[in-house]
């Protein structure tokens, strides 16, 4: 069995494209050696991330990510055990949701279309459905995100 975690959070740091590329490179290097995969989504100052892999390794990584000061109001949406990962061949896929009328924030970070296709094909799987809804701009589950709103006023 593998651990599957899905959380969402609010961005609390003004990431440049370079910062985001560096984060993904570092995450991919670590995740590859820990056998962890998943996908990081960004939409209008919010993150959603899927983490999948060995139970103890994913739980440990999530604890580290949750205390990362670059985001806030980290809320766990799904904590499950599954036979198979939803995204088997991805160390950490990436996609940014379009925000109406605005240019992509991280235009230089390559979208993983293969991972997006897998989410589409996963049909009614609740994790895939939650991630697809996030990318379509649906309200983020679990409310909150006061810190992200505060950040909007500060920036
Ligand atoms: C939104 C977000 C997602 C992240 N995802 C990962 C990840 O998938 N894998 C990873 O190793 N680090 C990830 N990180 C970085 C970790 O929070 C942390 O900085 C990194 O693991 C290094 O930990 P350390 O400073 O305790 O050594 C992420 C950070 C953020 C803000």
Whether residue 128 is contained in a domain is answered as yes
Which CATH number fits the domain that encloses residue 64?
3.30.70.100
DSSP bridge pairs for 40: 49, 94
Q: Quick check: is 131 in a domain?
A: yes
For residue 155, is it within any domain? no
Q: To test ligand 1's pocket by mutation, which of 12, 15, 23, 66 has the most ligand atoms within 8 angstroms of CB? A: 23
Residue owning the nearest CA to atom 28 of ligand 1: 65
Domain of residue 58, residue span: 2-149
Q: Which of 87, 49, 52, 85 is nearest to 68 (CA)?
A: 49
Count of structural domains within the chain: 1
Eight-class DSSP state of 155: -
Q: Residue 154 domain-assigned?
A: no
Q: Ligand 1, atom 10: nearest CA belongs to which residue?
A: 27
Q: Directed axis angle between helix 17-34 and helix 55-66, to 10°?
A: 150
- Write the residue with the smallest CA distance to atom 27 of ligand 1: 64
Q: Rounded to an integer, what distance in angstroms lies between the CA atom of residue 101 and that of residue 84?
A: 38
Residue 42 lies in a domain: yes
Atom of ligand 1 nearest to the CA of 65: 17
Helix (H, G, I), strand (E, B) or coil at 64: helix
**2-57 per-position pLDDT tens digit:** 999 999 999 988 899 999 999 999 999 999 999 999 999 999 899 999 999 999 99
66-84 tens-digit pLDDT: 999 999 999 999 999 999 9
């Amino acid at each position: 069995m593998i651990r599957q975690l899905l959380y969402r959070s609010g961005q609390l740091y003004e990431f440049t494209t370079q910062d985001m590329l560096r984060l993904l490179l570092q995450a991919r290097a670590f995740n590859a050696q820990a056998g962890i995969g998943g996908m990081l989504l960004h939409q209008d100052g919010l993150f959603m991330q899927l983490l999948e892999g060995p139970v103890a390794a994913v739980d440990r990584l999530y604890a580290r990510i949750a205390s990362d000061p670059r985001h806030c109001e980290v809320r766990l949406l799904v904590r499950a055990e599954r036979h198979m990962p939803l995204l088997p061949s991805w160390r950490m896929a990436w996609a940014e949701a379009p925000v109406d009328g605005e240019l992509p924030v991280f235009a230089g970070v390559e979208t993983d279309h293969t991972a997006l296709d897998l989410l589409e094909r996963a049909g009614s799987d609740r994790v895939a459905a939650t991630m697809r809804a996030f990318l379509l701009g649906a309200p983020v589950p679990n409310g909150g995100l006061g810190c992200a709103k505060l950040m909007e006023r500060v920036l």
